[in-house]
Amino acid sequence: MSATTAVIRATNLTKTYRYSEQAPGLAGAVRGLLRPQRRERIAVDALSLTVPPGQIIGLLGPNGAGKTTTIKMLCGLLRPTGGELEVLGHRPARRSFDFLSRISVVFGQKSMLWWDVSTYDSLLIHREMYALTKPRFDAAVDELSERLDVTDLLHVPVRKLSLGQRMRCELVLALLHGPDLLFADEPTVGLDVVAKLALRNFLAELNRDHGTTIVLTSHDMSDVAALCGRIALIDHGVIGFDGDLAELRARSGQHADADLDQVLAAMFRGRS
Ligand SMILES: Nc1ncnc2c1ncn2[C@@H]1O[C@H](COP(=O)(O)OP(=O)(O)OP(=O)(O)O)[C@@H](O)[C@H]1O
């Protein structure tokens, strides 16, 4: 695969957070203000990753492994401290209009919809943001709301929706502009098994019918097993494994029927 065809090409991608630490209590707070204790934490450590178009890749790792930091750099929310990064031929941190028009992010734990108004009102705002023509906007709303079964929910204030209903509306909003690359950060968190399956099927169809590349982070191993042909395990800011589920099982030393939870627990056992 040539470098230009990759959707994501990261080489030695690094992020070091600089922060100041403060001792407990009022005295500590005052001392922290006068003489701050500077600290550094390497959250992502020379990570290299190439993702071709149309792939669904699962980014897995224990808490604090560096997944969110990686995703924030990939979508341009954080500027890398070092390394090379190209996403859809762009440097994400520049946040060009073309780049932002071709990516999207959906968070299971954070709503992108306006709480007190209807989903449709949020969609109208996104229509302006992405400069979509009326025919393109109408066609996207029709297709997405039908596929996600939210046609009757679009005009209901978001605060009145159940979590499962809201997540489906979040996806309509996230996909309105037809991105080539979707970052889905824990999209099924808190959903019941029916809602989870519906969302999972939708993501699989989106990938199959539109060729959308999907980067999924999830602690729900059944999502990953069902959707991701490729799994990258991040720990301490580096990729320790990159392959498919069968290879991961073999590497973990677990038996062939072991579920992904058991496999990952074996891989991360003993980490500090
Ligand atoms: N703004 C920040 N300042 C300092 N350190 C940070 C900051 N954000 C994250 N970190 C640290 O960077 C490391 C990686 O954090 P990150 O949130 O990327 O992990 P994660 O894999 O997404 O974890 P989780 O699964 O718990 O969401 C952690 O040690 C975290 O404490």
Place of tokens 């968070």: 107
Place of tokens 């996104």: 126
- 3-class secondary structure, 255: coil
pLDDT, tens digit, 9 for 90 and up, residues 193-244? 988 999 999 999 999 999 999 999 988 888 898 999 999 999 999 999 999 9
Give distance in angstroms: CA of 43 to centre of ligand 1: 6
Verify whether ligand 1 is closer than 6 Å to residue 68 (CB atom).
yes
Running DSSP on this structure, what letter comes out for residue 265? H
Interatomic CA distance for residues 72 and 93, integer angstroms:
10
The atom of ligand 1 lying closest to the CA of 69 is 18
19 class by beta-carbon count within 10 Å (0-12 exposed, 13-18 middle, 19+ buried) = exposed
pLDDT, tens digit, 9 for 90 and up, residues 72-114? 999 999 999 999 999 999 999 999 999 999 999 999 888 999 9
Exposure string over 129-154, b if 16+ CB within 10 A, otherwise e: ebebeeeebeebbeebbebbebeebb
Cα distances from 224 to residues 17, 23, 43, 68, in angstroms, run: 29, 41, 23, 17
List domains and CATH numbers for the chain. Answer: 3-21+39-268 (3.40.50.300)
Give distance in angstroms: CA of 50 to centre of ligand 1: 22
Task: Give the global pTM.
Answer: 0.89
Q: How many CA atoms lie within 13 A of 141 on its CB side?
A: 20
Composition of the chain by helix, strand, coil, percent to 5: 45, 25, 30
